[in-house]
Amino acid sequence: MSDLGVIIVTWNTRELTLQTLQSLYADLATVALSVRVLVVDNASDDGSVKAVQAQFPQAEVLTSDVNLGFGGANNLGMRYFGFGKADATDLPKAIYLLNSDTVTQPGATEALYQALFSAPDVGLVGAHLTYGDGSFQDGAFSFPGLRQMWAEFFWIPGRLRLGRFNGRYPEEAYVSGEPFDVDFTLGATMMLRQDVIRQTGMFDSETFFMYCEEIDWAWRIKRAGWRVLCVPRAHVVHLAGQSTKQVKPRSVINLWESRLKLMDKYYPAWKRWLGRRLVAVGMRYKLQQLLAQPANQERDAIQVAYEHVIALAEGRSSDA
């Protein structure tokens, strides 16, 4: 039985994936853990698979003929390690889901692993994230509510936008260096106990193709009685959105389709009603701002995406 199985999903991020693996293996060389590293390729056409195999032959590689999305590809990786099989007997003690646009800083992997097994009720941990320029990046959040949705669309004072009103945890919590309880961690770094996966399943990839899948899983994990921690001593640079920014209009649709599904799954009826109307009003406001810009192909594509989201929020059909 290995201590840790690492899963890195890649989709047309060859150079970033190689950088991710280089920093990860450098960090793993300093820890006394038995670790298997698996790269799951989501039907890339940029030579990612051959590059990984050439430069990191010690990594295991699994390929998909189609883009399964973030959750689906990670589920494929977890099944490769044996999860989901009734007769599995050699599962890793923990699984670490690591984005392909990350740079692991020294000691991060061990800090996450130690925090995960620091108490019997800790089920999921995530790292302290920064952007590529070294600036702070929120790596953990409260479960989304109406206040966060309001902040998504409309102006609010900066202290509220960056604080608990908008589901953020204060930077001081990260500076303290001690793990702290959160609702969910960003999907860029998620380390989970074997028992959590066996009890709660994996990503709901059928419902959430892309976006919100980590929120949904963390919600199920918390409801099952497990704690979720952010671990400040585990520092990982997250370059953020390198795959999804390749198809921005489609990403807008994917994001809000998932947010609306999350709302339908976890909100009571009154909150779903109010939330959907807030999305429709907010997207109309964004659309008004967009249409004030000069027309071009990109603007027109984003306009179609915004109109699609409005139709979804109002329960109407759309051709987008």
Tell me the per-residue pLDDT of 182-199, one tens digit each, with 9 for 90 and over: 999 999 999 999 999 999
Shared domain for 237 and 299, answered yes or no, is no
In the three-class reduction of DSSP (H, G, I as helix; E, B as strand; rest coil), residue 90 is classed as coil
Please report the pLDDT score of residue 158 as a whole number.
67
Residue 120: DSSP 8-state? T
Q: Does some domain include residue 249?
A: no
Reported as a pLDDT band with limits 50, 70 and 90, residue 318 is low
Please report the pLDDT score of residue 211 as a whole number.
87
Q: Which of 192, 227, 243 is the last residue of a domain?
A: 243
Q: Does some domain include residue 238?
A: yes
Shared domain for 223 and 289, answered yes or no, is no
Shared domain for 125 and 205, answered yes or no, is yes
Q: Does some domain include residue 30?
A: yes
The two three-digit tokens of residue 311, written as one number:
């139709």
Q: Does some domain include residue 68?
A: yes
Shared domain for 156 and 304, answered yes or no, is no
Position 320 pLDDT exceeds 70: no
Q: Does some domain include residue 257?
A: no
Q: Is beta strand 140-141 parallel, antiparallel or unpaired with respect to 184-185?
A: antiparallel
Q: Are 127 and 139 in contact (CB under 8 A)?
A: yes
Shared domain for 275 and 211, answered yes or no, is no
Q: Which of 210, 243, 276 is the last residue of a domain?
A: 243
Q: Are 179 and 125 in contact (CB under 8 A)?
A: yes
> Residue ranges of the alpha helices (H) in the chain?
14-28, 48-55, 69-80, 108-116, 146-153, 158-161, 171-175, 194-200, 213-223, 248-266, 269-291, 297-313
Percent of the chain clearing pLDDT 90 (strictly above): 78
Shared domain for 236 and 280, answered yes or no, is no
The two three-digit tokens of residue 162, written as one number:
């960056």
Domain that holds residue 289: 267-313
Shared domain for 232 and 274, answered yes or no, is no
Position 104 pLDDT exceeds 90: yes
Shared domain for 133 and 276, answered yes or no, is no
Total number of domains constituting the chain: 2
Q: Does some domain include residue 262?
A: no
Reported as a pLDDT band with limits 50, 70 and 90, residue 241 is low
Shared domain for 146 and 74, answered yes or no, is yes
Question: What span, in angstroms and rounded, lies between the C-alpha atoms of 295 and 299?
Answer: 6
Reported as a pLDDT band with limits 50, 70 and 90, residue 166 is confident
The two three-digit tokens of residue 161, written as one number:
């936008």
**C-alpha dihedral (24, 193, 83, 37), degrees to nearest 10:** 10
Q: Does some domain include residue 203?
A: yes
Shared domain for 218 and 275, answered yes or no, is no
Position 237 pLDDT exceeds 90: yes
> Mean pLDDT, to the nearest integer, of 144-150?
91
Shared domain for 284 and 191, answered yes or no, is no
Position 91 pLDDT exceeds 70: yes
Read off the CATH number of the domain in which 42 is found: 3.90.550.10
Q: Is beta strand 180-181 parallel, antiparallel or unpaired with respect to 136-137?
A: unpaired
Please report the pLDDT score of residue 194 as a whole number.
97
Question: What span, in angstroms and rounded, lies between the C-alpha atoms of 160 and 146?
Answer: 14
Query: pLDDT digit string (tens) for 23-64?
Result: 999 999 999 999 999 999 999 999 999 999 999 999 999 999
